[in-house]
Structure 1
Amino acid sequence: MPKNRTSKYRKKLGLSPGSIIYTGDKETQELFIDSFDYNSEFLDEKTHANIEDVFHYKTTKSVTWININGLNHVDAIEKIGTHYNLHPLTLEDIVNTSHRPKIDDYDNYVFVVLKMLYHNANDEIINEQVCFILGENYVLSFQEAEGDVFETVRERIRYAKGRIRTLGSDYLLYALIDAVTDHYFMVIETMSNKIEDLEDNLFNGFSQEEISIQIQDLKREILKVRRAIFPLREIISKIEKNENNFIKDKTIHYFRDVYDHVIQISENIEIYRDMIWGLMDMYMTTLSNKMNEVMKVLTVISTIFIPLTFLAGIYGMNFANMPELHYQYSYFILWGVMIVLFLGMLYYFKKKKWF
């Protein structure tokens, strides 16, 4: 029975460009805001309940990272957009959770859309959109719900690890994008392990139906990961060209390192994609070989009984001396033999996994 699927774009049909309509499915998500305001000398980390509480960070001389969870709170998104002078099309893209990863340059900020991938407790791939606004001394990040891949960045800010507290907001944007990219490696590593396990199961003759379902799940996963990662090459390439004033030249080198990682991940994805198609071919070949083995055995059995059936067809049961005809329970014995033979053949075929 087909699943009931709803369109994410139906909410936006007929609306003018710049209409801020949340297209996700987390309608009851609470608004959660946390901020890091820092420089090399101090750190101010806070959690906020209202969007107005973070407005004053715009005028500080230190670097500020404001992380907003809860895209279903469109009013809060509009308020911060007005305060930071964000374009209506930017706000529209922020709450459009099915948007393709991209980068846009504006006069007063840079807008980046990425797909954040990670595994949940059930080993399922979570594909969540995350948006970044890079300004002169701030980074705004927008997420659909709590839970992300940025905890390592928070730790580096809290404990002044590395150079993050001594550099500007452009380096903070790099650190956040790098954290997203690092989790891509973890996702494809898990995918690689699944592919190797499936290969072993195919060679060991495990349940064919279960393996076919796992192959289909892997195909969907690889397509999801590919759609998330491939546009990132275009984003990093545009950043490398440094067509705006918000990313300093010395930070470009770090983005080049991210670009190398993205290329490596993209190559691995293509390899794994070919391996998954190879698994499907191997699965079909295994089914064909198994069917050939079954047909060979059945052909041998049929060949043995063909001459016996031929002789029985000519002479029938027309012999004068047949002691079984005079037994009182011959009919029931014959039925018993036939039933036992039938059940024995079923057991043999089941044991050989022919059905």
Structure 2
Amino acid sequence: MAMIRAKKRAARQPYFGKRYHTPGTAPGTLTGALASATTPVHIRLVDYSPEKLLLTEDAEITDCLTYIERDTVTWVHLQGDPPPDMLRTLGETFHLHPLAMEDVLNTGQRPKVEPFDHQLFLVMSLPVFQGEEVITRQISLFANARYIVSFCEGADDPFMPLVKRLQTKSSNLRKRGADYLLYGILDLVIDQGFPVLESFGLHLEELEDNIAESGGGRALLDRIHILKRELILLRRMVWPQREVITQLLRENHDFIGEETRIFLRDCYDHTVQIMDLLETYRDMAGSILDIYLSSVSNRLNETMRVLAVISTIFIPMTFVAGVYGMNFDRSNPLSMPELGWAYGYPVFWLLMIGIACGMIIFFKRKGWF
């Protein structure tokens, strides 16, 4: 059992999930962090305007450079775990800051927004299900007035709904600029928290029902602890996203128009709702743990009460048996003369049974069991 639990702990998402270089490494280093990366990289190029759209799957980095110099909006998305050499080439092609590229390589960064000379660099956390476990994937974004470059670790592409909307000529994404595309990406990442939290709510209700019906067990306690752990990890990665939206709204970025700021305010409202739900579910998980511990304590008290009643019933019987178990000289007429009676043994058992029945009736009337 201990070995099984150890394997489960090893398979869980660690509390500290950030990749990092060896202390003392020069800032902007793009080597060594992805030695264990296994997800191949898929590059998608989307270049669009209100009149036309170009969608290229499995594009090359060199192909993207010709499009970002046009008046159209260009979106380059990298899905997977890009190796350091690819990131270095991409950074040189799009003039991306080395410190920002280092954060792309070392996933697990705290959500943030950092302005550079000609672009914004954003880091967001996308909560997703991996089997029955909830994890967060890092979304890295470079944005300016003409293009968006996005990175998402893992094999599953979360941005296909946006691609489908872009393929519709009448969609707002096609009619607006790169700032609205940035809003669309941020809105999708933030709203992904709602179905995840909905699943948490259903799980909490199920745990409450299990405790009410069966009182729980070791497996139920493990589920409660896993749920609390996932909520803590989710809060640590989702909470700073509200600061990201606030910073975008407060600071003056030239390529973000006033109309797009209105939509960003809606994103901020969604972050507030998600954090409210997250805090509520954390409190509920703590309350469920308290209910479980109270249930276990009550069951233990019930067991102890039954044992105490049984022990109390046998106390006088033990006393009587102990008295008659003493060795006295039978030649003395005062030394337990009843032992010589013809019905002494049956009377002894009648006395024992009478004492037990009397105490049981007394306890029943008192409502002690």
CA deviations over 1:112-162 (Å, ceiling 9, x no partner): 001111224x23213110101102211000122221322211110112353
- Does 2:128 correspond to 1:126? no
Question: What residue in structure 2 maps to residue 142 of structure 1?
Answer: 151
Q: Which segments of 5 or more consecutive residues in structure 2 lack a partner in the other structure?
A: 328-338, 343-369
Question: What residue in structure 2 maps to residue 71 of structure 1?
Answer: 81
Alpha-carbon distance between aligned partners in 2 of 1:229 and 1:7, rounded to the nearest angstrom? 14
Q: CA RMSD in A?
A: 2.3
Conserved? CA contact 2:142–2:150, under 8 Å: yes
- Does 2:192 correspond to 1:208? no
> Which of 117, 121, 124 lines up with 1:114 in the alignment?
124
Question: What residue in structure 1 maps to residue 330 of structure 2?
Answer: none
- Does 2:67 correspond to 1:82? no
Amino acid at match of 1:304: I
CA deviations over 1:85-108 (Å, ceiling 9, x no partner): 111111111111021110001121
Question: What residue in structure 1 maps to residue 102 of structure 2?
Answer: 92
Q: Which segments of 5 or more consecutive residues in structure 1 lack a partner in the other structure?
A: 323-355
Question: What residue in structure 2 maps to residue 16 of structure 1?
Answer: 26
- Does 2:291 correspond to 1:291? no
Residue 28 of structure 1 and its aligned partner are, at CA, apart by 2.3
Alpha-carbon distance between aligned partners in 2 of 1:173 and 1:202, rounded to the nearest angstrom? 45
Alpha-carbon distance between aligned partners in 1 of 2:150 and 2:83, rounded to the nearest angstrom? 14
Question: What residue in structure 1 maps to residue 198 of structure 2?
Answer: 189
Question: What residue in structure 1 maps to residue 114 of structure 2?
Answer: 104
Conserved? CA contact 1:101–1:231, under 8 Å: yes
> Which of 249, 265, 282 lines up with 1:256 in the alignment?
265
Alpha-carbon distance between aligned partners in 2 of 1:118 and 1:69, rounded to the nearest angstrom? 15
CA deviations over 1:68-95 (Å, ceiling 9, x no partner): 1233411111111111111111111111
Aligned identity (percent) is 35
- Does 2:51 correspond to 1:33? no
Conserved? CA contact 2:126–2:138, under 8 Å: yes
- Does 2:279 correspond to 1:236? no
Amino acid at match of 2:235: R
Amino acid at match of 2:316: P
Amino acid at match of 2:97: H
Per mean C-alpha deviation after superposition, the further-off stretch among 240-249 and 256-265 is 240-249
What is the TM-score of this pair, normalised by structure 1?
Answer: 0.84
Residue 179 of structure 1 and its aligned partner are, at CA, apart by 0.6
SS at match of 2:192: helix
Aligned residues: 321
Question: What residue in structure 1 maps to residue 280 of structure 2?
Answer: 271
What is the TM-score of this pair, normalised by structure 2?
Answer: 0.81
CA deviations over 1:298-319 (Å, ceiling 9, x no partner): 1111111112222222223996
Amino acid at match of 1:214: R
